[in-house]
Amino acid sequence: MLMLGPLVAYSTVSLFFSLGNAVAAPFLFVAIVKFFISLTLVIYLLIAAGKKMTTIVAGTKSHWRSWKLAGVTLGQTNDVFLAFSLLYIDVAVASILAAARPFFYTLIVSRAFNRQGRYEKITGGKWALTLLAVVGCGLVIASQSRYFGAGLTFATLIGVLLALANPLFSGFTSLSLKWGTDVSTALGDEDTESLFPLVGAAIGLFASSILFFAIGYFLQESFGALGFGGVAMAVGYAVIAGGLGDTLHRSALLKTSNLGVNSLGFFQPALAIVWLGAFPLIPQVDWLLHAIHLQVDFPLITVPHVDWLIAGCIAVVAANLLLNFRASDRIAYKALVIILWASGLFVYLHDGVVAPHYFAVVNTAALVFVLLLTFRMERLIRRTADEENNAFTVFRQLETLVRYERIKAEVLEGIKEIDKHRKVGELRNAYRRVKDLLHKARDEPTGGDTRMADKLERIESAVDKLAHSKQQGTNFGEFLALGAIGVILAGLLLFFTAPDLGAYPGYGFMVELMSFVLASIIVFLLFNMWDLERDRRRPILFKEKDGRYHVHFWDDRDADDAHLERRISIIICLAMVVAYGALLYYKWLL
């Protein structure tokens, strides 16, 4: 909830650009925006700095000749690219493309800067999500054509490149953080560390506004082209999206230590489309526009295929979110998101082949699938639990014997190797080392005490069971049969449909909604079983630097972080179902 305020405020940017007719005088429009945002920042600094204002002024005077501030000023050119893109593409298309930065960072930044940060490891799942975002952008661009891909011109390409330049240039604005840290460190004043980045941002904003005013004057742009309403929209952008949005964002970050809340900002293009679509429906909107002498042609979204636009927006938002926060390490969840998007779009666009006995065939295939899945899952879960219990029991018993010097400490590393390795050769070698050490321990004199020999025999028997269970890999025949039935069932749901749906639109809506949701769940269950196999192969014992062995925790996130990211994960899936449900409702019932 902390980020809801700034998210709503930031999502109004496209609305202000559209209502203010920014394309009439783009440099003047952006100059007004940057000037008033810098003014709100200065007012905030005057209030927040208090007695530290003297230090801030002195630090700024001594460090204003910095290339980082020049970079901040360069970053403020982002809105000019967005304004010029509206000459060639629809404002809704530009809004979504401007949010495409994260998946471009996956491709570019990770390669250019040694894959640092959250893009340190580019996995197959991240490549799949990147592909999803690329396909989504393609759908968004294609929504401007009456037929898929037809009618797209060179001018459209220019508009697309300008919109994509917006987020790439805005990345330079983060240099204000680096500049602020350098200044506060040089002054040795930690109290100003949070204020100097705002000073750097204000300087970059003011410098860019002066630059844009000068360019606008040189190009003979006039305030008359914008009109009173256009100027009012520029000021509104500065106050709501710039001043209010930034203030609420800073307040939200001060109230939480979890920076994952920033991920909610990737919902911005979806909310921007809602603003553009719903604004004409607001009561008394005509009176409001007339009061500020603003003439606007409705609707604001003018693409021929709004459905393609929505589907593409869903893909970009979902991919950006999953690429920029740790939703889940499981392949199944990413597969669920991708198949939800793809199957929902397919069902919406494809009417399906009429099958006379549709539900009877689906019920039979579903019954076979559920039976095979249940048997397989039950055996897999039981085997995994038995292996873990055996490994923990054996390890702790041997650890006690090591502590009392009844067996060599090497045996603990051997058990860890048995738990870790899945290749038969490596597993055999680790097993033999453990057996040799157990045999040597049994050969040691016990002074007539048979309890130690019995205990070692029980441990050896448990090691035999553990090694035997570990060498049993995935039953690919069974998995192949289950996968084949799952694919057939998903295909039946997606490619075929029940008869006479046209006569009962509500019935058709429910059948198609059920089809894409169930097909997605089936694919999720198949991948989830594969995840359980991966869990079985994960090591459960971990050796710390102090030489002690502990349980290996796979998820190292704080509880609050994990809780937030799970909620976002659920929101993504629910949002997809709701969005496609709305499209199917439009298809059948409107």
Which residues partner with 150 through β-bridges?
A: 147
Tokens standing for residue 393: 């029991």
Decide the pairing of beta strands 353-354 and 496-497: parallel
| Terminal Cα distance for the chain, rounded | 34
Residue 544 CB neighbour total at 10 angstroms: 8
CB 90 within 8 A of CB 79: no
Decide the pairing of beta strands 541-543 and 496-497: unpaired
pLDDT tens sequence across 182-222:
888 888 877 777 888 888 999 999 999 999 999 999 999 98
Q: pLDDT confidence of 344, banded at 50, 70, 90? A: very high
Tokens standing for residue 305: 């295929």
What was the pLDDT predicted at 32? 95
- Examine the pLDDT at 108 and tell me if it is beyond 80: no
What was the pLDDT predicted at 328? 58
Residue 408 CB neighbour total at 10 angstroms: 16
CB 184 within 8 A of CB 190: yes
What was the pLDDT predicted at 128? 82
Q: What angle do CA 234, 240, 243 make, to 5 degrees?
A: 100
CA distances from 60 to 38, 180, 195 (A): 15, 9, 11
Q: Provide mean pLDDT across the span 213-232.
A: 91
**Residue percentage of the chain with pLDDT more than 90:** 21
What was the pLDDT predicted at 30? 93
Q: Which amino acid is at 552?
A: H
Tokens standing for residue 449: 């005490």
Q: Which amino acid is at 44?
A: Y
- Examine the pLDDT at 289 and tell me if it is beyond 60: yes
For the chain, helix, strand, coil in percent to 5 are 75, 0, 20
Burial grade of 189 (CB within 10 A; 0-12, 13-18, 19 or more): middle
Which residues partner with 542 through β-bridges?
A: 550
What was the pLDDT predicted at 211? 92
Q: What is the DSSP-derived secondary structure letter of residue 556?
A: -
Q: Is the pTM of this model over 0.75?
A: yes
Tokens standing for residue 249: 């964002």
pLDDT tens sequence across 140-160:
998 987 665 556 788 888 999
Q: pLDDT confidence of 340, banded at 50, 70, 90? A: very high
- Examine the pLDDT at 237 and tell me if it is beyond 80: yes
CA distances from 222 to 84, 508, 549 (A): 16, 55, 73
Q: Provide mean pLDDT across the span 29-38.
A: 94
Q: What SS3 string covers 430-464?
A: HHHHHHHHHHHHHHCCCCCCHHHHHHHHHHHHHHH
Maximum alpha-carbon separation in the chain: 106
**Residue percentage of the chain with pLDDT more than 70:** 86
* Span of 45-59, 117-131, 507-521 with lowest mean pLDDT: 117-131
pLDDT tens sequence across 444-457:
766 556 777 788 88
Give me the helix-helix angle, 245-254 and 26-49, nearest 10°: 40
Tokens standing for residue 199: 């000073």
